[in-house]
Chain A
Amino acid sequence: MPEYRLQTPITKEDIKKLKIGDTVLLSGTIYMARDAAHKRMVELLENNQSLPVDLKGEVIFYAGPCPPKPGQVIGPVAPTTAFRMDPYAPSMYEYGVVGTIGKGPRRDLVKDACKKYGAVSFAAIGGLSTILSRRVKAVQVVAYEDLGPEAIRRLEVQDFPLLVAYDSNGDDLYQQEITKYENYNQKTNKGAV
């Protein structure tokens, strides 16, 4: 599988090049937002109002960190379950977001939106929080501070490890990989671990 080092903003050409299963080490600026922030942002978009942060061309990381200990840039952090953001994702991609980072499979409406708007949905490892927090070099709350761990934060990341889970062709890494290992032990007579 190809491995890419990408710098934000990710260009439309780069997005097109990315295929499911590709590894990406992402550096630059990304924005952290999850359930409560998405609810507010999509309400604004539906009313043709502008967002508190310009997210056109940006990547959204579905996550909420632990508080930092003294001397830390950020507390442990890793993606939250992406499917909870599925109802909001098509509106955000239509608005101009080029990528999202979450964990776990997503619904067809996200797959379709990635294809329609030329975007991707990345997977990072859920719960890999200590390791991933070291790839964050700076953090700043930029909107919805009242939401605490759910506030929108701007992050500077370096070599943030991602997998392309849904690409702009509408392909699905979860589906592809699960099919390979269905009844694997039964077929190979290995039995369970």
Chain B
Amino acid sequence: MRIVDAEVLTESVAKLCWEACYYLPEDVLAGFRRAEKTEASPIGKSILQQLLENADEAKTNHMPYCHDTGMAVVFVEIGQDVHITGGNYLDSIQEGVRTGYREGYLRKSVVGDPLLRVNTGDNTPAVVHTDIVPGDQIKITVLPKGGGSENMSAMKFLLPGEGVEGVKKFVLQTIKEAGGKACPPVVVGVGIGGSFDKVTSLAKHAVLREIGVHHPDPHIAELEQELLEAINDTGIGPQGLGGTSTALWVPIETYACHITALPVAVNIQCHAARKKTIVI
């Protein structure tokens, strides 16, 4: 058994928060560059160039790429042979978010009660997903999720008979309704299957996949490609100001489901597709 101090989790999460916000991942930058080369709209092309410039400035000056540094979504995979000591596991993650947002000069965008709406002042609580996995390591990923794109996400139970055509229709309809409001070019995380709770989790986890990597199942990979082409032919374009680069990637995750059901969820990720991972 391996012993890990809760303090280590706090320090790791804090660092991940600001690193994620300052340095856009290389797969996202590569996606911008590819889109910039093929974009048909002059306005769209200019926007993509400015986004690349913005990413460069953020990196050089160690500043947030986007001012909406999000609600922190933290994914933790804890090896079953790990024992955490010196503090409560969940508290240590929340303390990491608190420290990271304060020391990183990130925006505090969380209200404590969804109806009373008073800002908590430290960007906590974060949303924490924990999985127990084999091994003696801890893998932590911080995804600072901006409000604009999260607001445009959607979930629906289709009839099983609607099948793949129904899925395509729902994804496209969600993207068209989101339009420029979701801050395209976007990454479109799609979940298919599972239950009411599982399908949205699948869509959220899909967003974590590297841009350019397809699902291992050929029929899902094919659906990803087909949806990418269809989304990029909606005309929405960068910022919704027209063009051929609406989505950078459409990762899909699936799970088994009930004989009565075909749940689908779409989690939209704006162009500030930030994520940062550490393995302890």
Contact = CB atoms under 8 A, between A and B. Distances in A.
Interface residues of A, number: 51
Interface stretch (B48-56, B79-87, B134-142, B162-170): B48-56
B225 A78 contact: no
Q: Could you say which of A130, A148, A190 has the most chain B C-beta atoms within 10 Å of its C-beta?
A: A130
A47 interface: no
A191 B183 contact: no
A66 B64 contact: yes
Interface stretch (A10-18, A68-76, A110-118): A68-76
Contact of A185 (B35, B69, B244): B244
Interface string B177-189: 0011111000000
Contacts of A66: 63-64, 67, 69, 105-107
A104 B107 contact: no
A104 B121 contact: no
Interface residues of B, number: 58
B105 A75 contact: yes
B66 A78 contact: yes
B229 A127 contact: no
Interface in A21-66: 21, 36, 63-66
B11 interface: no
B235 A75 contact: no
A76 B64 contact: yes
Contacts of B151: 81
Given A104-B240, A130-B57, A193-B35, A149 B119 contact: yes
A129 B144 CA distance: 15
A161 B147 CA distance: 23
B272 interface: yes
Q: Could you say which of A66, A128, A180 has the most chain B C-beta atoms within 10 Å of its C-beta?
A: A66
B63 A130 contact: yes
Contacts of B179: 104-105, 174, 178
Interface in B113-150: 117, 119, 121, 146-148
A176 B228 CA distance: 23
Contacts of A191: 229
A177 B229 contact: no
A109 interface: no
B40 interface: yes
Contacts of B261: none
B244 A184 contact: yes
B251 interface: no
A184 B233 CA distance: 6
A50 B232 CA distance: 47
B277 interface: no
Given A128-B54, A149-B109, A184 B40 contact: yes
Contacts of A123: 239, 241
A19 interface: no
Query: Lowest 10 CB-CB distances: which A-B pairs, in order?
Result: A177-B242, A182-B235, A192-B229, A104-B180, A181-B235, A127-B66, A104-B181, A129-B67, A178-B235, A130-B57
16 contacts: A64-B107, A66-B106, A67-B105, A75-B63, A75-B107, A76-B66, A77-B67, A80-B68, A81-B151, A104-B182, A127-B272, A129-B65, A163-B241, A177-B41, A192-B232, A193-B244
